[in-house]
Structure 1
Amino acid sequence: MNLVWQRFTLSYLPLKEYLATSYLHRFSVGLLRPWRQSSILIQWGDAIAAALLSLVYTLAPFVSSSLVGVLLVACVGFWLLLTLSDEARSANNSLVTPIHLLVLLYWGVAVVATALSPVKKAALNDLATLTLYLLLFALCARVLRLPRLRSWIITIYLHVSLIVSIYGLRQWFFGATALATWVDPESPLSKTTRVYSYLGNPNLLAGYLIPAVVLSLVAIFAWQSWIKKALALTMLTVNAACLILTFSRGGWIGLLVAILSVMALLVYWWSVQMPPFWRTWSLPIMLGGLIGVLVLAVIFVEPLRIRVFSIFADRQDSSNNFRRNVWDAVFEMIRDRPIIGIGPGHNAFNKIYPLYQHPRYSALSAYSIFLEVAVETGFIGLACFLWLIIVTINTAFMQLRRLRESRNIEGFWLIGAVAALLGMLAHGTVDTVWFRPEINSLWWLMVALIASYWMPLNQNQSSELYSQNQEPTIN
């Protein structure tokens, strides 16, 4: 069974041998290597790439999607230049991981979906956008392999998110005009301020802040000086408060999943140092404490209670009813094109959805990333997307075990990346802000952060990891 799982998750994959025999790799990577050796600028290629990525994650919450697109084009162009002029690398420094292969496969499915789309022109435009994000992942995975640049990019994002959250808290204290109908007009919360900061939408802000909350939490343990730890604690408090004040139910679900994931992974990280009692009961105690705090908050904080209960109101809540009607139409779209979908992107969706929509329920997306992927690329694309998620999380766990054995504090960032991914997926199950540039760029940053820790394992090491994982944890 372990062998089947290892093959399914590409845990042991002879990438070095494959790349050595690949004609595409041989004739593309290193094509401009002689020019690289004589170029002073390109010798600072990774630092320049980090600067471009810093611009993306600094400006994303404040500028238009068009400008973010221009920055993505610049990132992709520079990634192409670096790849064509790259040096030969050893197996331990390979820039290609199993995650890269699944990303490439997902892109290939999207290409086929575009070719077979009933609205090819619209799908082709969004295929180009998808390609930009996937190549952004490739550049991030390359840059983040360097610990100093990894720390720089994470720090940039955390400081920008702090600015965004501070402005969101200002809206809470001084009021903010709702730019759309985000709450049921008949709800007691119809007059409650929902903060949206610079992003213009509380659900979008909540999705943007989920990774910020998680990374600021693990930064408390990853950053060494007490001043930095105090800064991380401040970031955690401000980001979490701002996310809660978005009153985004999907964001709350994502936050809860992310926090539970962090708790479980931190217990796993410290379990080797714990006495048997705490190794067994620390997670249940923390889980019980968290549930107790949430129950007390729901009981005594009326706005929170009303918002939480609305999750279970089904069609009696206008937002729930809207999503249910959209999902009914989306299921019909999937039923008619179940194999390869209608093609990637919201442009293709906007062309096809009006043919299925219920009266008065127009929508720009499927309001669920899993349904959206199924609509765009069919069950083939959905299976590939789920496979990508499984391989990414499995890769993270294997590398986390390696870092834990060496007590490398870089493992905390890996914990944060995994928890952020799970939180964003939980939020995305009931919303599609995941496809917006501010969040999609963060998603691929988290995937790239996990990929940046990847190191190839030989078959004996891989088998040892899985056999150790089956050992009992109670002495």
Structure 2
Amino acid sequence: MTAPVGCSKNSFATANAANSFLQRWRSGSWAYQLVGLFHPWRQSSWLLRWAEPLGTLLVCATFAIAPFVATGLIGLLLLATAGFWLLLTLTDRDGLGATPVHLGVLLFWCVVTIATAFSPVRDAAVSGWLKLSLYLVWFAFCTRVLRAARARNAAIAVFLLVALVVSIYGVRQQLFGVEQLATWNDPESALAGDTRAYSYLGNPNLLAGYLIAAVTLSLSAFLVWQTRSQKLLALTMFGVNGACLVFTDSRGGWIGMLAALLAFLLMLRFWWDEYLSPFWRRSLLPLSGLLGIGLVGAALGTSESLRLRATSIFAGREDSSNNFRLTVWTAVLDMIRDRPLLGIGPGNDAFNRVYPLYQRPNYDALSAYSIYLEIAVEAGFAGFTAFVALIGAIAWRARYQFLQLRERGDREGIWIVGASAAMVGMLAHGLVDTVLYRPQIATIWWFLVALVASYYGNRDPASASERKDPEMPLA
């Protein structure tokens, strides 16, 4: 077998080595022998004849209700998803579709499990461990469902349509005003009475985290969807989602959106590489960067509230929000120093039990306000290392599939561009916030990871040629 054009021989050899390792593990694993154990029963089951549509329906239902209901109801739906995934796994001979990403997820889960076992507040940590386990089963379930292109496109479309509803309500809050549910602005600043949109999610930072993926996937939809009406809808989604994210006044969300758009542009540049003239190969990124800087500068120049909010990022402890985070981070670093290897155990319950022993007076906190510090305090440096390894596996898999799909001219590769850019943005937002741990955002994050992993062993009957435009690879 030869490497596809555009895929380096080293990447192809690494892929073969990874696949060979997975095959050896499957043949020697006792647990893996359970996969497909009850396959004969599936052949006569009326319910499981509809397994694929039902799986797609569960994924879509999760996205449809997540912004509007209490987290407990989302948990029940994830629990139902876990049960259905187990049923499919025991009755399907196609296997788990395990990828290097799955191995990274498994490694992270094992380290967190050990951290739970050695937690000083084990009863509280078990609650966080169960939540994480549900998210990881959700990832495994989504990976299985999204291997079919129809299911993938349906799930993305439902998410984008729901995000559009959420964004429209957020924009309405900005235009007509809305009661602020908490002191989200520095009470001593000129922005004390400024409106921050929060839509149905009840918190502007949470809304910003939710919309980062909506912004990049709506851009991908504009390039993947074919009809004029679909493209117009995707462009509308991009505009409304982007505007609503700006109206949240979430500085972390703004950083995440800029990082996501930059990542999207970089990947798109390489996707178009062979179609660009030498001039545009050299100039596309610099000109796009200048255009972006110009648009940001124009926005800051015409809106005083945006300018004040943006410049407060650099105000240090003079801004109350900055000061609060810096103080909490100091206490969290003390927690990491005392339990550096495996941390205190996962979950906000464990954090809330231990943090009061370290907190500074009048600085109550529900989390570390940084996903990187949160992982380090919950699972120690072992967990942080496993998380970095997982991100590396995701990036490697995304790059490999990106190159393969680009070589085939398969527009499905643009979903990888959107998913990867969204994850970059969410990780950038995570530098200063932990909204990634909330169910509304966690389900999106693991869906994006599953989207990248789902192209492994793609079962979609449509050939690449049916989705390829020989003149233009994206439209």
Match of 1:393 in 2: 395
Match of 1:473 in 2: none
Query: Structure 2: how far apart are the matches of 1:251 and 1:147?
Result: 30
Query: Structure 2: how far apart are the matches of 1:255 and 1:13?
Result: 38
Query: Structure 2: how far apart are the matches of 1:6 and 1:119?
Result: 45
Contact 1:254 1:424 in 2 (8 A): yes
The one-character-per-residue Cα deviations of 1:82-102 (angstroms, maximum 9, x if unpaired) are: 00111145xxxx611110111
Match of 1:16 in 2: 23
Match of 1:231 in 2: 233
Match of 2:415 in 1: 413
Query: Structure 2: how far apart are the matches of 1:225 and 1:54?
Result: 23
Deviation, structure 1 residue 32: 1.2
Label 1:361 to 1:243 Cα distance change in 2 as closer, same or farther (>3 A). Answer: same
Contact 2:68 2:200 in 1 (8 A): yes
3-state DSSP of counterpart to 1:31: coil
3-state DSSP of counterpart to 2:325: helix
The one-character-per-residue Cα deviations of 1:408-444 (angstroms, maximum 9, x if unpaired) are: 0001111000000000000011001110000000000
Contact 2:146 2:152 in 1 (8 A): yes
The one-character-per-residue Cα deviations of 1:211-261 (angstroms, maximum 9, x if unpaired) are: 001100111110000000000001011110000000000000000000001
- The aligned amino acid for 1:44 is W
Deviation, structure 1 residue 21: 2.4
Match of 2:3 in 1: none
- Which one is further off, 224-233 or 166-175? 166-175
Contact 2:97 2:456 in 1 (8 A): no
Match of 1:211 in 2: 213
The one-character-per-residue Cα deviations of 1:315-334 (angstroms, maximum 9, x if unpaired) are: 00000000000000000000
Contact 1:99 1:391 in 2 (8 A): yes
3-state DSSP of counterpart to 1:374: helix
CA RMSD of aligned residues (A): 1.8
Query: Structure 2: how far apart are the matches of 1:258 and 1:6?
Result: 30
Deviation, structure 1 residue 12: 5.4
Contact 1:369 1:428 in 2 (8 A): yes
Match of 1:243 in 2: 245
Deviation, structure 1 residue 18: 2.3
Match of 2:466 in 1: none
Query: Structure 1: how far apart are the matches of 2:331 and 2:16?
Result: 34
Contact 1:9 1:394 in 2 (8 A): no
Match of 2:440 in 1: 438
Asked whether 1:45 is paired with 2:47, we answer no
Query: Structure 2: how far apart are the matches of 1:159 and 1:10?
Result: 40
Match of 2:353 in 1: 351
Label 1:397 to 1:80 Cα distance change in 2 as closer, same or farther (>3 A). Answer: same
Match of 1:320 in 2: 322
Deviation, structure 1 residue 14: 3.1
Match of 1:140 among 135, 139, 142: 142
The one-character-per-residue Cα deviations of 1:39-97 (angstroms, maximum 9, x if unpaired) are: 021121121111111111110000000000000000000000000111145xxxx6111
Q: How does 1:35-434 map to 2 (within 5 A)?
A: 35-88=41-94, 95-434=97-436
The one-character-per-residue Cα deviations of 1:138-180 (angstroms, maximum 9, x if unpaired) are: 0000000100000000000000000000111111111110101
User: Structure 1-normalised TM-score?
Assistant: 0.92
Query: Structure 2: how far apart are the matches of 1:136 and 1:88?
Result: 18
Deviation, structure 1 residue 8: 11
3-state DSSP of counterpart to 1:327: helix
Label 1:58 to 1:115 Cα distance change in 2 as closer, same or farther (>3 A). Answer: same
Query: Structure 2: how far apart are the matches of 1:167 and 1:9?
Result: 48
Match of 2:36 in 1: 30
Contact 1:103 1:134 in 2 (8 A): yes
Match of 1:450 among 430, 452, 462: 452
Query: Structure 1: how far apart are the matches of 2:342 and 2:304?
Result: 46
Contact 1:9 1:391 in 2 (8 A): no
Label 1:270 to 1:3 Cα distance change in 2 as closer, same or farther (>3 A). Answer: closer
Contact 2:11 2:400 in 1 (8 A): no
Label 1:13 to 1:314 Cα distance change in 2 as closer, same or farther (>3 A). Answer: farther
Query: Structure 2: how far apart are the matches of 1:278 and 1:13?
Result: 40
- The aligned amino acid for 1:126 is G
The one-character-per-residue Cα deviations of 1:273-309 (angstroms, maximum 9, x if unpaired) are: 1111111221111112111221232233211110111
The one-character-per-residue Cα deviations of 1:347-370 (angstroms, maximum 9, x if unpaired) are: 000000000000000100000000
The one-character-per-residue Cα deviations of 1:368-413 (angstroms, maximum 9, x if unpaired) are: 0000000000000001001101110111011001000110000111
Contact 1:165 1:242 in 2 (8 A): yes
Query: Structure 1: how far apart are the matches of 2:232 and 2:57?
Result: 27
* Structure 2 unmatched ranges of 5 or more: 1-8, 459-475
Contact 2:416 2:452 in 1 (8 A): yes
Query: Structure 2: how far apart are the matches of 1:349 and 1:7?
Result: 39
Query: Structure 2: how far apart are the matches of 1:8 and 1:413?
Result: 21
Label 1:359 to 1:397 Cα distance change in 2 as closer, same or farther (>3 A). Answer: same
Contact 1:6 1:12 in 2 (8 A): no
User: Structure 2-normalised TM-score?
Assistant: 0.92
Query: Structure 1: how far apart are the matches of 2:155 and 2:52?
Result: 12
3-state DSSP of counterpart to 2:314: coil
Label 1:328 to 1:9 Cα distance change in 2 as closer, same or farther (>3 A). Answer: farther
Query: Structure 2: how far apart are the matches of 1:18 and 1:349?
Result: 36
